[in-house]
Structure 1
Amino acid sequence: MTRTALIVGASRTLGLALATEYLRLGWDVIGTVRGADRTELHALAETSDGRLAVESVDITDPDQIAALRDRLADRELDLLFVNAGITRGNLPIAEVPTEMFTEVMVTNALSPLRVIESLRSLVTPDGTIGVMSSRQGSLAMNTNGGQDVYRASKSALNQLMRCYAARYADAAHTLLLINPGWVKTDLGGPGAMLTISESIPGVAATINAQSGQPGLHFLDYQGETVPW
């Protein structure tokens, strides 16, 4: 039986590459975009022989999340993966405007958990729920500082996933926080160590290798444990 992955935030860079990788692995994929504009994901869908469906959702809007849940009510997901991450500049925390702090925290921490709480019932009993985290969310690995708000948002995301795991401790879902590595994207910058093609196949392999292992795991794209 063909497995199905829902990748939330798949219009470009890491999310698009992850959708492409799961198609390559033979999965059916549902990928989401934020707005109505045509994206590379739409072009990919046109060459997918019907195995890629494109949905639209702004995950910062609870009503849009609920509408997505209603549209997918008859689908069964083997993987729900939320790819969300923005940064608004490398400012010391004292210089961060309240509006900027709120935007980053809502996008990177609150909204992914809203998606998971809303769509978790669509995931098969032994399926996987994952979120794109970052080594910058690790408290133990923060020895240099910088990127204060982005770091805080990813640490908050990790903490919220731990709360989620405790709340649903009796569920058999595999729960994953994935660090894709430092990747050359708009967010990672041109000086990053990895290309997307070096990171994302490892991300998918790590996700798939954890299938059937309940509980929460914080791992990198090579399957190594990331310290909290």
Structure 2
Amino acid sequence: MTNPERSALIVGASRGLGLGLTETFLRRGWRVTATRRGGAPGLERLATRGVRVETVDIDDDASVAALHGRLDCETFDLIFVVAGVLGESDRPLHTVPRAVHAQVLLTNAVSPILFAEAFSDRLLPGGTLAFMSSVLGSVGLNTEGGWENYRASKAALNTNARSFAARHAERSFGVLLLHPGWVATDMGGEGADLDVATSAAGLADVIEARAGRTDLAFLDYRGEALPW
């Protein structure tokens, strides 16, 4: 579906799924603002096609406040916080330094919610606030363990997003936790089931199909509900 009136803020679009989502919404006629933390040649190339490129570090309150100020006159139909880290997540929990655990939890589970609090005033009625979650964040589906600190951080993100939704019970926008599938990115690694374009298209389809809804949901890229 193409709707040139719609606008999106994609947070964490330097590469991988964030970049893929930026390209997908741009092709669908959305007006897109996309953020990076550092250098991002792929995103910078999209600037020549009309993407507004901004810089923000979601772990830095001053950086988030500065972005909010720079986007003072902007409102969005979609704010999608994609940014996240792995942080030695392939290692057992007890073998990873405490400082690494703290960083993974901060970036994956706390900073996205703080960003949402700062930018909730920029969402249009009927819009969508989306967070990049993972099926690994499902406590109910965790029967095999593995990827322990990453898994825990996404479960924490889901819990924090539910608390955000409860705290903003009278909100005029929907809240989505989205699982992109196992995607061939730097984070997803080799052997993944999906390419970026397929996952990004599926995520965009889900978001567009739920436009106007104000409920909370945990869905995969096909729109199927996942157990919390």
TM-score normalised by structure 1 residue count: 0.96
For 1:31, the equivalent position in structure 2 comes to 34
2:99 and 2:66 map into 1 onto residues whose CA distance is 27
For 1:137, the equivalent position in structure 2 comes to 137
2:107 and 2:18 map into 1 onto residues whose CA distance is 15
1:225 and 1:38 map into 2 onto residues whose CA distance is 33
For 1:13, the equivalent position in structure 2 comes to 16
2:120 and 2:41 map into 1 onto residues whose CA distance is 27
In the TM superposition, residue 38 of structure 1 has moved relative to its aligned partner by 4.5
For 1:40, the equivalent position in structure 2 comes to 42
CA contact 2:82–2:131 (8 Å) conserved in 1 = yes
Describe the SS at the equivalent of 2:184. coil
1:135 and 1:38 map into 2 onto residues whose CA distance is 27
2:189 and 2:45 map into 1 onto residues whose CA distance is 25
1:178 and 1:38 map into 2 onto residues whose CA distance is 24
Describe the SS at the equivalent of 2:126. strand
1:134-159 deviations in whole A, cap 9, x for unaligned?
00000011111001000000000000
In the TM superposition, residue 113 of structure 1 has moved relative to its aligned partner by 0.6
Which ranges of structure 2 fall in alignment gaps of 5 or more residues? Answer: none
Matches within 5 A, 1:192-207: 192-207=192-207
For 1:82, the equivalent position in structure 2 comes to 81
Q: Return closer, same or farther for 1:199/1:173 CA change in 2, 3 Å cut-off.
A: same
Letter paired with 1:207: I
1:83-140 deviations in whole A, cap 9, x for unaligned?
0221122121111211100110111111111110001101112211001100000001
CA RMSD across the alignment: 1.0
For 2:6, the equivalent position in structure 1 comes to 3
Which ranges of structure 1 fall in alignment gaps of 5 or more residues? Answer: none
Describe the SS at the equivalent of 1:100. helix
Letter paired with 1:65: V
- 4+ runs deviating over 2 angstroms: none
Matches within 5 A, 1:150-161: 150-161=150-161
1:152-202 deviations in whole A, cap 9, x for unaligned?
000000000000000001112111000000111111111111111221100
1:38 and 1:10 map into 2 onto residues whose CA distance is 8
1:165 and 1:38 map into 2 onto residues whose CA distance is 32
For 1:121, the equivalent position in structure 2 comes to 121
1:40-74 deviations in whole A, cap 9, x for unaligned?
1011111x1x3x10000011101100110111110
In the TM superposition, residue 39 of structure 1 has moved relative to its aligned partner by 2.0
How much identity, in percent, do the aligned residues show? 47
TM-score normalised by structure 2 residue count: 0.96
Q: How many residues align?
A: 224
2:21 and 2:197 map into 1 onto residues whose CA distance is 10
CA contact 1:5–1:80 (8 Å) conserved in 2 = yes
1:219 and 1:210 map into 2 onto residues whose CA distance is 11
Matches within 5 A, 1:178-189: 178-189=178-189
CA contact 2:110–2:157 (8 Å) conserved in 1 = yes
For 1:177, the equivalent position in structure 2 comes to 177
Describe the SS at the equivalent of 2:162. helix
2:199 and 2:97 map into 1 onto residues whose CA distance is 33
